[in-house]
Amino acid sequence: MAREFTRVGVVGLGTMGAGIVEVFARNGLDVTAVEISEAALERGRVTLTGSTDRAVAKGKLAEAERDALLARVDFRVGLDALHDVDLVIEAVPEHLDLKQRIFAELDRVCKPEAILATNTSSLSVTEISVATSRPNQVIGIHFFNPAPVMKLVEVVRTVVTSADVVADVEALCERLGKVDVTISDRAGFIANALLFGYLNHAVGMFEARYATREDIDAAMKLGCGLPMGPLALMDLIGLDTAYEILDTMYRRGGRDRRHAPAPLLKQMVTAGLLGRKSGRGFYTYERPGSPKVVPDEYTPLAADAALADGARAIAKVGVVGSGTMATGIIEVFAKAGYEVISVTRGAEKSAKVCESVKTSLNKGVVRGKLSETDRDAALGRITWSATLDHLADVDLVVEAVIEELSVKKALFASLDEICKPGVVLATTTSSLPVIDVAMATQRPADVIGLHFFNPAPIMPLVEIVQTIRTSAETSATARAVCAKLGKTGVVCGDRSGFIVNALLFPYLNDAVRMLEASYSTADDIDYAMKLGCGYPMGPFELLDVVGLDVSLAIQRELYLELREPGFAPAPLLEHLVTAGYLGRKSGRGFRDHTRR
Ligand SMILES: NC(=O)c1ccc[n+]([C@@H]2O[C@H](COP(=O)([O-])OP(=O)(O)OC[C@H]3O[C@@H](n4cnc5c(N)ncnc54)[C@H](O)[C@@H]3O)[C@@H](O)[C@H]2O)c1
């Protein structure tokens, strides 16, 4: 017969524990909430009341419900208070010896039939379980941060966890309104195994001054639709916790260098910069525990200040190319008030691009996003040409031709001959080194990457790629142009994948490896990332949309440039591409799209 859970215990009321108490109490369970000292108990109480008060203020919880919720929680110091609970979940810091000590103690204190659960993110549940005399009643219940908000729970069963314990915990998760995925005991489970390599890579980028914290975070939010950037997420998780998780994953997960914590993390933890909980991490917060970021010495100047910073005046813009990106970019510039000269390889192509721009602008009118007058004015600003010579007097050229280095280099050599001095020459390449293109001209200081995202009229992000020869003036001009286009321009160095692809594709590749290793299913991995981390799409959904061939090509580039063994394309990805399973565009990728 299934167990009845009436009273549960939570040990440790930090970032996770306080949220877990809230989840239980909100769903009608009585909770014994335990901390190590009166001071820590008080902190936990303050976190819980703060969170429930915010829920009331937002209209998500009635005052009476909040009062009932708080009345269900019994705050206590010391594990002895847990003698009558049906299940206890431990959420103390991520140290194996500490957790083992607590489990040995829980085994002594709790009823013989009680389930003992850990919220560990990376430690072995099996190793924790052997500290008790009832390893078959020990299980992982891994909540996500913030626990009251995130829908996912990873239920981790060890080789000795009883089937009835797993079933009862799954039923409990359902009662809590959570979606659970049940998996075996492996470092990082699903979500963290895919998340932490990415987070650590982002810290490495920041540490190497490849881009600013604001730009790294904006790139991932705006380029991938993630709810938070990686550095803001690190602050939310807690840098001490993140360090321990990475360190354990490195040691337990085959010593993948990508999980070796970035040196900066250790320094920050040592210096007491733990993230939101200490009031300062990658960002500075109003006070410890507050989610509100306040300006500090690293906060960049407002965009207006950057404009004054040596940017050249741009009025006339040439766009070279006739594909999807060129078409979108022409529209973006024309709508923002620039005079645009579109150059294609023939009148027929120009007519096609013109038609596409008109169709897109008309859609804007139908959707009420653009007036007819503005549409006509935007169209009136575009000149159609099939001759590069017409770019002699433009102020900026944006190249968006085929992704082949020889073609781009030849084009830039021609632009160098045709364009007047002082023109900014930009390439939209997503994978080629911008410096190669720049060196095809006699003016590499004026060359920069402007990496727009598809569809350009909609996606708010542009990566501004500076080579080691790009001048400050060129960079300032690019930033000013992006601001005028209404886009967020993030500045980064000239490395394979820039910010977004360099952080995104290895994660997708890791998901393929996880599937290949049969650790979980494509559906559960997609759920884990969507419901555990708030991603708009799971990795397999995204791979099928992007195209497996495109993803493989990007991953190969990253691997070739950075020589990071962990970036080697997953064999399964290569096999699917060889088999012609390219994703939605071919009807089949990780999923069959012909039957949907
Ligand atoms: N932070 C996250 O985003 C996150 C997400 C999922 C899981 N986890 C996991 O949850 C666990 C807790 O992490 P956290 O981020 O909440 O840590 P935290 O440092 O914010 O909180 C830990 C709490 O445990 C208390 N504690 C320490 N020793 C204790 C003891 N002997 N008895 C009772 N309480 C004790 C501390 O006083 C502190 O309040 C870790 O295993 C972590 O890996 C964390």
**For every one of its 596 residues, what pLDDT tens digit does the chain have, with 9 covering 90 and above?**
789 899 999 999 999 999 999 999 999 999 999 999 999 999 999 999 999 999 999 999 999 999 999 999 999 999 999 999 999 999 999 999 999 999 999 999 999 999 999 999 999 999 999 999 999 999 999 999 999 999 999 999 999 999 999 999 999 999 999 999 999 999 899 999 999 999 999 999 999 999 999 999 999 999 999 999 999 999 999 999 999 999 999 998 788 999 999 999 999 999 999 999 999 999 999 999 899 999 999 998 765 555 557 899 999 999 999 999 999 999 999 999 999 999 999 999 999 999 999 999 999 999 999 999 999 999 999 999 999 999 999 999 999 999 899 999 999 999 999 999 999 999 999 889 999 999 999 999 999 999 999 899 999 999 999 999 999 999 999 999 999 999 999 999 999 999 999 999 999 999 999 999 999 999 999 999 999 999 999 999 999 999 999 899 999 999 999 999 999 999 999 999 999 999 999 999 999 999 76
Is the CB of residue 35 below 6 angstroms from any atom belonging to ligand 1? yes
Rounded to the nearest 5 percent, the helix, strand and coil shares of the chain are: 50, 15, 35
Residue 1's pLDDT is 74
- How many CB atoms lie under 10 A from the CB of residue 303? 14
Which of 117, 183, 186 has its CA nearest to residue 525?
183
Taking the centre of ligand 1 as the mean of its atom positions, its distance from the CA of residue 4, in whole angstroms, is 26
Residue 491 Cβ < 6 Å to ligand 1 = no
Considering the candidates 22, 90, 94, 154, report the single residue annotated as catalytic. 154
Beta carbons of 540 and 511 less than 8 angstroms apart: yes
Based on the residue annotation, tell me whether 201 is a catalytic residue of this protein.
no
**40 C-beta closer than 6 A to ligand 1:** yes
Instruction: Examine the residue annotation and report whether 509 is marked as an active-site residue of this protein.
Output: no
The torsion defined by the Cα of 196, 199, 201 and 206, in degrees rounded to 10, comes to: -160
Q: How far is the CA of 258 from the centre of ligand 1 (A)?
A: 24
Which single residue is written with the structure tokens 């290793």? 517
The residues pairing with 182 across neighbouring beta strands, listed in sequence order, are 155
Contact yes or no for 135/158 (Cβ under 8 A): yes
Tell me the torsion sign for CA atoms 47, 48, 53, 58. Answer: positive
Three-state DSSP at 8 gives strand
What's the pLDDT score for residue 309? Answer: 72
Contact 199/234 with Cβ under 8 angstroms?
Answer: yes
Is 119 tagged catalytic?
A: no
Residue 253 has a pLDDT of 78
Give the tokens for residue 44.
């936990």
The response to whether residue 446 sits with its C-beta less than 6 Å from ligand 1 reads no
At 380, is the secondary structure helix, strand, or coil? helix
From 36, 47, 199, 241, give the residue whose CB has the most ligand 1 atoms within 8 Å, as the site to mutate: 241
Q: How far is the CA of 92 from the centre of ligand 1 (A)?
A: 3
Among 15, 79, 95, residue to substitute to test ligand 1 (most atoms within 8 Å of Cβ): 15
- For the Cβ of 81 lying below 6 angstroms from any atom of ligand 1, the answer is no
Q: Is 234 in the pocket of ligand 1 (CB under 6 A)?
A: no
Cα(94) to centroid(ligand 1), Å? 7
List the residue whose alpha carbon is closest to atom 2 of ligand 1. Answer: 237
What does DSSP assign to residue 280?
Answer: B
As a whole number of angstroms, the distance between CA 66 and CA 281 comes to 31
CA–CA dist 138, 254 (Å, integer): 25
pLDDT value at residue 304 = 56
- Residue 578's pLDDT is what? 98
What are the angstrom distances between the C-alpha of 134 and each of 91, 126, 161, 380? Answer: 19, 11, 9, 77
Which helix (H) or strand (E) segment holds residue 452: the answer is: strand 447-452
360 in ligand 1 pocket by Cβ < 6 Å?
Answer: no
For ligand 1, whether the C-beta of 497 sits within 6 Å is: no
Label residue 58 exposed, middle or buried (CB < 10 Å: 0-12, 13-18, 19+): exposed
How far away, in angstroms, is 44 Cα from ligand 1 center? 11
How many CA within 13 A on the CB side of residue 290? 11
- Catalytic residue status for 142: yes
Q: What is the three-state SS of 387-406?
A: CHHHHCCCCEEEECCCCCHH
* Interatomic CA distance for residues 391 and 374, integer angstroms: 25
Q: Count of residues for the chain?
A: 596
Q: 461-466 and 447-452: which strand pairing?
A: antiparallel
**Alpha-carbon distance 458 to 153, whole Å?**
34
DSSP state of 74: E
pLDDT at 252: 87
Q: What is the structure's pLDDT at 254? A: 82
pLDDT at 280: 98
Q: How far is the CA of 59 from the centre of ligand 1 (A)?
A: 29
CA separation for the pair 377, 395 (Å, rounded): 20
The verdict on the CB of residue 36 being under 6 Å from ligand 1 is yes
Q: Which helix (H) or strand (E) holds 153?
A: strand 152-157
Q: What DSSP letter does each residue of 560-576 carry, written as one string?
A: HHH--GGGSPPHHHHHH
Sign of CA dihedral 300, 302, 305, 311: positive
Q: Does the CB atom of residue 34 touch ligand 1 within 6 A?
A: yes
Which candidate in 119, 122, 192, 430 is catalytic? 192
What pLDDT was estimated at residue 595?
A: 74
Query: What pTM was estimated for this model as a whole?
Result: 0.92
